[in-house]
Chains A and B, each alone.
Chain A
């Protein structure tokens, strides 16, 4: 492709773009696989139930508030790309569970992920049935992902002089 005719347009004001990020928490992730037909068909209800029960257990056991951490279960093969926006309702024969735990420290995220672990391994759809087991591709199942960041500053700074927001310090060595 060839682009021609570009012009330099002088602005009447001098601006500096400011961007900033802040640590939004720390994450641990787990992956599990559903291959049992019944669990694949009811994967969303299964995942919703795990999220609710595990969140309650974390609050009870660790004495923290439910808004101090997040457990998210994305169903790969069903709606992991778009979540509620997904319009396709296919009939998969297996579903991957991508579990994402976000908390204020890595230690806390890891601890919550380890409380979530037995749910992903053994949670039954109903209390009447025998305890199922699901496939974990990794052992240990939880993986520490470190910090997750979010934008906290996205701003244009107007300066009358380009150096108004900056200072120069000149050091001479030797």
Chain B
């Protein structure tokens, strides 16, 4: 079983304003795109970031072989508990998940 990061070209994350994070999965090929769409449920992603699945927005863009998730930042950017001002590390956590 392979990790997401080993299957796709690139996973990256960043802030989308201070209240949202967005994570882009560049799958690279149509088969990899299909594998991610089938093997990575919204619930799993929500679990990884300890947020409710219904708060996630999922975008599948076949013309670009991209899957994208946006979610409310568990900690608002710049607040005392924020560990990652630009939301940069979230991609690393997602890219280590094993696909179903």
> Do residues B5 and A133 form an inter-chain contact, with CB atoms below 8 A?
no
Q: Does B58 contact A (CB under 8 A)?
A: no
Bitwise interface map of A from 86 to 126 toward B, beta carbon under 8 Å scored 1, else 0? 00000000000000000000000000000000000100000
Q: Are A135 and B84 also in contact (CB < 8 A) when A33-B89, A35-B89 are?
A: yes
> Do residues A135 and B86 form an inter-chain contact, with CB atoms below 8 A?
yes
> Do residues A135 and B78 form an inter-chain contact, with CB atoms below 8 A?
no
Q: Are A137 and B84 also in contact (CB < 8 A) when A35-B89, A35-B92, A37-B92 are?
A: yes
Bitwise interface map of B from 77 to 95 toward A, beta carbon under 8 Å scored 1, else 0? 0100011111011011100
Interface of A is mostly: loop
> Do residues A133 and B12 form an inter-chain contact, with CB atoms below 8 A?
yes
Among residues of A, the one whose C-beta sits closest to the C-beta of B88 is A133
- Cα–Cα, bound, A134→B12 (Å): 10
Q: Does A167 contact B (CB under 8 A)?
A: no
Within 8 A of A (CB), among B1-39: 5, 10, 12, 14
> Do residues A136 and B85 form an inter-chain contact, with CB atoms below 8 A?
yes
Within 8 A of A (CB), among B46-99: 78, 82-86, 88-89, 91-93, 96
Further pairs besides A36-B91, A133-B86: 15, Cβ < 8 Å: A33-B84, A35-B89, A36-B89, A36-B92, A37-B5, A121-B86, A121-B88, A132-B12, A132-B88, A133-B12, A133-B88, A135-B86, A136-B84, A137-B82, A137-B85
Residues on B lying within 8 angstroms of A by beta carbon are 5, 10, 12, 14, 78, 82-86, 88-89, 91-93, 96
